[in-house]
Structure 1
Amino acid sequence: MSTAGALDGLVIADFGRVLAGPYATMILADLGAEVIKIERPGVGDDTRAWGPPWVGEESSYFLSVNRNKKSVTLDLRERADVESARDLVRRADVVVQNFLPGTMDRLGLGYDAVREMNPHTVYCSISGFGANNSLPGYDLLIQAVGGLMSITGPDAATPTKVGVAVVDIITGLHAGVGILAALRHRDRTGEGQHVEVNLLSSLLSALANQSSGYVAAGVVPQAMGNRHPSVAPYEVFDTADRPLVLAVGNDRQFGALAEVLGLSELASDPRFTSNSSRVAHRVELFEALAAAFSRGTADFWFEALTERGVPCGPLNDIADALALAERLNLDPVVSIDDPRREVPTRQVANPIRLSVTPATYRSAPPRLGEDGAAAC
């Protein structure tokens, strides 16, 4: 393995706040980039105040997306601090910002101004609704107006948000992919460019089969609880002790399921011989399977069905999920030793595995402004 990260030598000026931008830049920092985070004096990133939970006096929310970064405080309302920011972008390979559209232009730090100062810079703008719309974009709002809440929850009358700011995370990943693509172009040509992503478009893309169902077939999807509009059985079943998720994706798996449950006759029943027929008769199928699942525990069925290649699993909480990842040797948690902390900082590991230039954990998330103007 190389001791250098895949993105070693890249300098990122990070004006991002909250989640989408910081998540993108943390992923890039894990892969070796030097990320200099610009924050407001005395306040910093909004998420520094988002708690509980707290780790000492620090927000676990902020800690989750800001490791491997330096923190510099600049008041972008002050001319001298704006000049410091310009000094930074002049030497930066990448600039990331998620202010309301137009804000960075007014500060003299928009894409056109930065391109004049440094034509090699990859400039990434993250917004809620695109560059021509100044509407503020928060994840819950985008989940609502972007249609995600309309397909999430027990039924159409109970719109429900996803339990994490998933639109911000998806947008951050899109931003990271766009930045890397632009850097590849720059490697070939020396030319920087503007990368633009927004939360609404990212969500519509990530809705995948659901948005395609409307765009391609004119079908407006509705909330179905834990069921799937196109696959059955693909939902949650009660067992003798706790819920079990079943995700049968093909006829072979269904045949194995029926045999393990002692219901072999279901595999030859015309109502259930294909996925489309199972979807059409999902209510009758659910009733037959639910009665069988009630006769055993979740762990019993998990072991018996997994042995036969049937995708299923118990309904875990996050502690259970991390324990499962540990048992599967996925190393989901890292401890970052940092002289700025009295004890190591525990974090969820970067999920990307590179065989030669793996992710590294060089420093815990920074205290506000601790790296000073010298980092610019």
Structure 2
Amino acid sequence: MQALEGLKVLDLSRVLAGPWCTQTLADLGADVWKVESPQGGDDTRTWMPPEVNGESTYFLCCNRSKRSIAVNFRDPEGQQLIRDMAAKADVVVENFRKGALERFGLGYEDLSAINPRLVYCSISGYGRAGIRSEEAGYDFAIQAESGLMSITGEVDGEPMKLGVAISDIVAGMNAVQAILAALLAREKTGKGQLIDIALLDGSVSLLANVATGYLATGNAPRRYGNAHGSISPYQVFSSSDGSFAVAVGNDSQFRAMCSQVIGKPELADDPRFSTSRARATHREDLVPLLDAVFRTRTKADWIEAFKRAGVPAGLIRTVPEVFSAPEVAERNLFVEIEDDRMGSLRLPASPLALRGTPPRPPSMPPRLGEHTDELLEEVLGLDGERCAALRRKGSVA
């Protein structure tokens, strides 16, 4: 069995933060009912390239193992269908603009009145209350406004965003944690609750040690590029045939690197470098010395030497190299799925390695409305004639 087997999730979200949350719940065994507009469905279905057989790989990244039902939100009968499904659900996840679902009678107050045990997770850019709650939130803007971009990039270069929509993904991860906590609380109280997840909140929390450094000292942080503000050597170095990453996290690792990797044990006894604080303070002296040594051999040679010494270091892999790495395959981080429309397709898999209740084997992300009749019959008990009538009216597709 899976950890969340039997949990029913009504997914009213689209794009990334909400779907990332509900995909994780699906991975853990929940039955996720993805509600989409009949007019095109989830926005990401059109986000191409890249694509495979005419389907967006962006959509494929965050919708595995769900069932899709296409419902017209603007139609009163469509709205009633969603309310009826909410009465049967344990969790609702949505990321509409503030007030949009309330206009359809699908807000938290509306649905919790029908189902007091409902856990209702609302995801937005800036939260459901406050001076910016009316604004739409997009990952790139949130990365900029949260301070993440200000600490990312080369020392003298432009602030840089991360290569994926990290604000959305972290909001989705935070939503999962909050939902699971609310479900545990429901076991004690018998009642659900409203969860207010904001992209801004999650992204500011990602500042982590940088945030505490500023809040505690009042000193504004700066960018270090591929280096670390508190630890050295903890950065990218050049070898004779390319770059690699060195992550020396403590004094014993530094001593092992000096004696066993680069053959310069005297560096570990140098007062400028003998402690972590000293190395961070004197990085301008240390880094050129190491750089000169690392340029004398290949990156493969250095990585092997670091491994023998038990000191962390790593190759800087491309994405194709990542998915060719034996440890990635060994950890089952991607799967091959057989599908009637795609044939055989490789997709990412869940990283949540629960040994007793492992994630479910993933199924293909659904086609728009693929499970409309199935869910209407199974969840709401509607017969084929009623489903056909709703489809003719335009309430569903």
- In the TM superposition, residue 361 of structure 1 has moved relative to its aligned partner by 2.4
Amino acid at match of 1:103: A
Whether 1:244 aligns to 2:281 is no
Corresponding residue for 2:363? 363
> What is the RMSD of the two structures over their aligned residues, measured on CA atoms?
1.3
Corresponding residue for 1:279? 280
Normalised TM-score (structure 1): 0.96
- In the TM superposition, residue 320 of structure 1 has moved relative to its aligned partner by 1.3
Query: Contact 2:149 / 2:160 at 8 angstroms: preserved in 1?
Result: yes
Corresponding residue for 2:393? none
- In the TM superposition, residue 155 of structure 1 has moved relative to its aligned partner by 2.3
Corresponding residue for 1:314? 315
Whether 1:111 aligns to 2:108 is yes
Change (3 A) 1:345 1:187: farther
Amino acid at match of 1:307: R
Corresponding residue for 1:173? 173
Corresponding residue for 1:122? 119
Whether 1:12 aligns to 2:9 is yes
- In the TM superposition, residue 362 of structure 1 has moved relative to its aligned partner by 4.6
Change (3 A) 1:119 1:44: same
SS at match of 1:323: coil
Give the distance between the partners of 2:338 and 2:187, measured in 1 at CA.
Answer: 34
Give the distance between the partners of 1:17 and 1:372, measured in 2 at CA.
Answer: 17
Amino acid at match of 1:312: A
Give the distance between the partners of 1:164 and 1:272, measured in 2 at CA.
Answer: 36
Give the distance between the partners of 2:40 and 2:10, measured in 1 at CA.
Answer: 19
Give the distance between the partners of 1:281 and 1:237, measured in 2 at CA.
Answer: 17
- In the TM superposition, residue 145 of structure 1 has moved relative to its aligned partner by 0.7
- In the TM superposition, residue 279 of structure 1 has moved relative to its aligned partner by 0.7
- In the TM superposition, residue 105 of structure 1 has moved relative to its aligned partner by 1.5
Corresponding residue for 1:233? 233
Query: Contact 1:67 / 1:361 at 8 angstroms: preserved in 2?
Result: no
SS at match of 1:210: helix
CA offsets 1:87-141 (integer angstroms, 9 cap, x no match): 1111110000001121111211111111101001100000100102111111101
Whether 1:295 aligns to 2:296 is yes
Amino acid at match of 1:123: Y
Give the distance between the partners of 2:196 and 2:127, measured in 1 at CA.
Answer: 8
Change (3 A) 1:327 1:350: closer
SS at match of 2:364: coil
SS at match of 1:288: helix
CA offsets 1:244-303 (integer angstroms, 9 cap, x no match): 100110001001111121221110111001111101111111100000000111111001
Corresponding residue for 1:77? 74
Structure 2 counterparts to residues 1-376 of structure 1, below 5 A: 4-132=1-129, 133-155=133-155, 157-259=157-259, 260-326=261-327, 329-338=330-339, 340-376=340-376
CA offsets 1:61-84 (integer angstroms, 9 cap, x no match): 100110110111112111111111
- In the TM superposition, residue 35 of structure 1 has moved relative to its aligned partner by 0.3
- In the TM superposition, residue 342 of structure 1 has moved relative to its aligned partner by 4.5
SS at match of 2:330: coil
Unaligned runs of 5+ residues in structure 1 are none
Amino acid at match of 1:82: Q
CA offsets 1:191-240 (integer angstroms, 9 cap, x no match): 11111110001011121111111122212211111111111111100001
Give the distance between the partners of 1:88 and 1:198, measured in 2 at CA.
Answer: 25
Query: Contact 1:32 / 1:359 at 8 angstroms: preserved in 2?
Result: yes
Amino acid at match of 2:324: A
Query: Contact 1:14 / 1:25 at 8 angstroms: preserved in 2?
Result: yes
- In the TM superposition, residue 52 of structure 1 has moved relative to its aligned partner by 1.1
Change (3 A) 1:17 1:327: closer
Normalised TM-score (structure 2): 0.91
- In the TM superposition, residue 335 of structure 1 has moved relative to its aligned partner by 1.6
Give the distance between the partners of 1:257 and 1:13, measured in 2 at CA.
Answer: 53
Give the distance between the partners of 1:362 and 1:330, measured in 2 at CA.
Answer: 15
Amino acid at match of 1:221: P
Corresponding residue for 2:379? none
Give the distance between the partners of 1:316 and 1:363, measured in 2 at CA.
Answer: 28
Number of corresponding residues = 372
